[in-house]
Amino acid sequence: MANIGFIGLGIMGKPMAEHLIKGGHRLFLHSRSGVPADLVALGGRAFSSPKVVAQYADIIITMLPDTPDVEKVLFGENGVIEGLEPNADPGKMIVDMSSISPLETQQFAARFNQLGCDYVDAPVSGGDVGAQNATLTIMVGASVAAFAKVKPIFELMGKNVTRVGENGAGQICKIANQIVVSLTIEAVGEALLFVSKAGADPEKVRQALMGGFAASRVLEVHGERMINRRFEPGFRIELQQKDLDIALASASALGVSLPNTATVHELYNACLAHGGAKWDNSAIVKMLEKLANHKIQKHPE
């Protein structure tokens, strides 16, 4: 049994923390929106600040929306680092499972390493369904020793757990994931819109494509969302846009052109302009529909 702190209990964090409690670990919990009562009923303990969580926990996990949120929780007033200083336990470990900047991740890691603490960046893919079913893909940046220590904990939350490299490598991998995912969502939207406008049944076409080379998890899940007009999140557009902001900023710093990523980024900008920050990221199809002046339509049997 490990003493684990978990900070950030939203759509993703709550079921992830639940799996850890059910896996037999002692959980110390904090969330700015309040700790869900059902986690406490399962045995989790609610605390008032990240500082107090860090005082009790040996492994402190964060699952937060963006880089500034992680920085505030780690280094702000009553933050994690205050729970460690001045006599940090060298056996303690910080595990950030948010999707944030690789450069700032490396800076955060360096600050904790100076205190003798391990730091692990471990962003995830799989969305709320993956979090609920403990089937997340977890992309890890850590030392070999730190990864070996935390891997059994990750395996309670995900199925595909991979050490990509040292600190920052997990976040680099997540950027690559988001490039592939966002461009594929847009491509599925274009394809289904074309099908509907041309007069074929988008659901039957989707079923046919699932048996061929175009098959993908995006076509399976998000294609169905587009056809059935189910745009509740899921993974919110504002978070998808944030990840593409990081991708394009990182690419710019490297001198790499990502032209199709930039195009999809603009379509998500259009979603935000139409009040779609809280829509599921599959709702990018709404902007394609506006450009075509046509909505994807089911065909009656």
Give the whole-angstrom CA distance, residue 17 versus residue 5.
9
Give the whole-angstrom CA distance, residue 61 versus residue 97.
7
> For the stretch 213-235, what's the b/e string if a residue is b when 16 or more beta carbons lie within 10 angstroms of its beta carbon?
eeebebbebbbebbbeeebebbb
Give every CB contact of residue 39 below 8 A, 6+ residues apart in sequence: 9, 14, 17, 18, 21, 27, 29, 46
Residue that has been written with the tokens 């989790």 in this structure: 44
Q: For this structure, is 174 an active site residue?
A: yes
From the candidates 149, 174, 242, 286, which is the catalytic residue? 174
User: Nearest 5°: phi and psi at 181?
Assistant: -65, -50
94 forms beta bridges with: 60, 119
Active-site annotation, residues: 174
